[in-house]
Structure 1
């Protein structure tokens, strides 16, 4: 039984293992930040895309925009890894029942486990699915699109699904071959997905230059979030532009990596190569990159995925879920004079 669960948990990640580790960092504290936490945006790839939707619905009273690359509808797995594999990854013999899944969100909202769904009407939603993505079926991403249309005015939804892109985060010029899904799952696609997404989610962004002013810091997730971070890595990343470090009021964006994109697998690649920092740097936006870890024991998570099927908590998809609470704590800790000691990295290699 345990062996079968391990195999399923390994398959559900949909990405191949990578063995690189992130390098050394110098010790320095993250500056006290003045963040506007009333209009946060979030994004994510694959399992991170599922988590982005979960986090946004949980806190749609202050998370006003969401970008999802290669993921399916909210509560698709129904807390069961077998269901996740049968309906929510690359198999579509049985399509997700969007109306049934949406009823779960309605029930959570009535119980106060997620924010009121009325907040979703004016939310900004950006969705992406590559035409040669073999890890997440197009029908699965289509189901997410149909689900968002139940909550959100269609004028606020953008769905990009006509580009020849594999299962990865597409960029203008960084990463590996755009047509192949391989570590670190960031593709050189001559397409700035980060810019397209952020310009949809946030009004009046300035076009970025090619120089980064800020720094990438590592934060102690365990020290900040305590037991809620027990399925997360010891450290996560946060990119802080120079203006934000100097005390200017800044926006906040959270981006969730995919399976096998956690730091012990790809280093800081996801936190430096997607292009998010480039846009954030010239638009006073702090970007939080929380990190998971792999686990070969219970709870099984051999590919370091975000919890979108219930391995970490029965409430994984709502405000009471450990990972959602932990990430919320991480974000709020950045807007505080009582921050933990953090580690700084130079992000000039983006």
Structure 2
């Protein structure tokens, strides 16, 4: 999760042809069970997953956070996001009260006696060796979710037996071909994908057991073998973005930094599309492909600097989809031009006049809001969350037999 002051000229988002719909021609029309919708993510995707679960707690049943900062920590400030949130320095008690105030103002879903109506299960993984988002951030997230939901949170900090307690920033899944488990001298940037392998450690397997399990012991043998790449289908996310942007929500400028010239703020086509990609991804396990199957729905959000398609193929969600009868949907942020650099504690000046997002992060600090509407990013009015809500509505809409 890297944040830089450098601003970049970013490419426009192309239109997606009809052929980009899911391979069976049904797109997002899956007839998923609207009473069994959950969400999770890694890094900035984890932050967005918790934001969405809190804002839509009357319809989201469970949430997972992997290597992410805590809810509401940034308070609309880029400098606070980097200097405070990535270091885990935000007290959760004040944030729980802030969430309850948003509910009282009807900016997020209403609560009953201070508790969500449906959100009941949560899982938090944070490696003690994460150098990008420091471990205290995961501890704050777990305490926040426990107090907000009034229920115990499944907390996972890895296993010394396979080195996953020393893993760097990212999501852990078994198998070859992923980033190294342990962080070396190069730190978290030693990995290219932020999908790590630490023996048999499996973040998604343990998370789904916590979110969907029936109380029986976790059984790693239930994990399916590698899923064919052709079974990862695309869907037209651009249409859902357009439904939100047609209402013209105010969106902060991004920026270009021209050498030897002052910073000039303006809105690129990427920003006008809410920094989101035109194509998202979808995995429908065989048990959920017949009409009327009524499967669970899980939204999985990639992190900063992660390729959305690679995340959807490699992170391990698809390997557990058949066992738990769950449709996995992968919304996507459009890539920028990734910039590496230090994370926790990096000084960032306020008042930049623009809101850069070069690393393709989800909006967990309010980069779409700026001075137009500070704090919107935590509410149901947040543009990216409205797109996700549109995805959920499409996947759970009734499908004729």
Identify the TM-score tier after normalising by the shorter chain. Answer: 0.7 to 0.9
Shift of 1:167: 0.4
Given candidates 224, 238, 248, the residue that maps to 1:209 is 224
Give, in whole Å, the separation in 1 of the partners of 2:286 and 2:324: 11
Say which of 69, 84, 94 aligns to 1:100: 94
Measured against aligned partners, the alpha-carbon deviations of 1:63-91 in whole angstroms (never above 9, x if no partner) come to 1111101122211000110111111114x
Q: 2:198 aligns with which of 176, 189, 197?
A: 189
Q: Whole-Å Cα distance in 2 between the matches of residues 283 and 101 of structure 1?
A: 33
Aligned-CA RMSD value: 2.6
TM-score using structure 2 length: 0.72
Distance in 1 (CA, whole Å) between partners of 2:32 and 2:43 is 27
Asked if the contact 1:122/1:153 (under 8 Å) is kept, the reply is no
Larger radius of gyration: 2
Which of 377, 380, 385 is 1:324 aligned to? Answer: 385
For the residue of structure 1 that corresponds to 2:138, the secondary structure is helix
| 1:134-283 alignment runs, 5 A limit | 134-154=131-151, 156-162=152-158, 163-174=165-176, 175-180=178-183, 181=188, 182-190=191-199, 191-204=201-214, 207-210=222-225, 212=227, 215-226=231-242, 227-228=244-245, 229-247=273-291, 248-263=293-308, 268-283=309-324
For 2:56 and 2:124, the matched residues in 1 are separated by: 19
For structure 1, the residue ranges without an aligned partner over 5 or more in a row are 11-24, 339-350
Which residue does the alignment assign to 1:16?
Answer: none
TM-score, structure 1 as length reference: 0.81
Does residue 77 (structure 1) correspond to residue 108 (structure 2)? The answer is no
Counterparts of 2:364 and 2:103 in 1: how far apart (Å)? 18
1:62-73 equivalent positions in 2, closer than 5 A:
62-73=59-70
Matches within 5 A, 1:26-41: 28=23, 29-30=25-26, 32-41=29-38
Q: Which stretches in structure 2 are left out of the alignment for 5+ residues?
A: 9-18, 159-164, 246-272, 338-352
Distance 1:321 1:327, change over 3 A: same
SS at the partner of 1:310? coil
Alignment of 1:44-55 (within 5 A): 44-55=41-52
Deviation at 1:120, TM superposition (A): 6.5
Instruction: Judging by fraction of residues, say which structure has more strand.
Output: 1
Give the Å deviation of 1:294: 3.7
- Give the conservation status (yes or no) of the 8 Å contact 2:59–2:118: no
Q: What's the secondary structure of 2:144's corresponding residue?
A: helix
Q: Aligned match of 1:286 in 327, 343, 361?
A: 327
Q: 1:137 to 1:165 in 2, by over 3 A?
A: same
Query: Match of 1:7?
Result: 5
Q: Is the 8 A contact 1:9 1:81 kept in 2?
A: no
Residues 269-328 of structure 1: CA distance to partner in whole angstroms, max 9, x if unpaired? Answer: 110111110111233211011100245795421000000000123411111100000011
| Cα distance per residue 1:252-283 (max 9 Å; x no partner) | 000111100143xxxx2110111110111233
Deviation per CA, 1:119-152: give whole Å up to 9, x if none: 2786111001112110111122211122122223
Across the two proteins, how many residue pairs are aligned to each other? 312
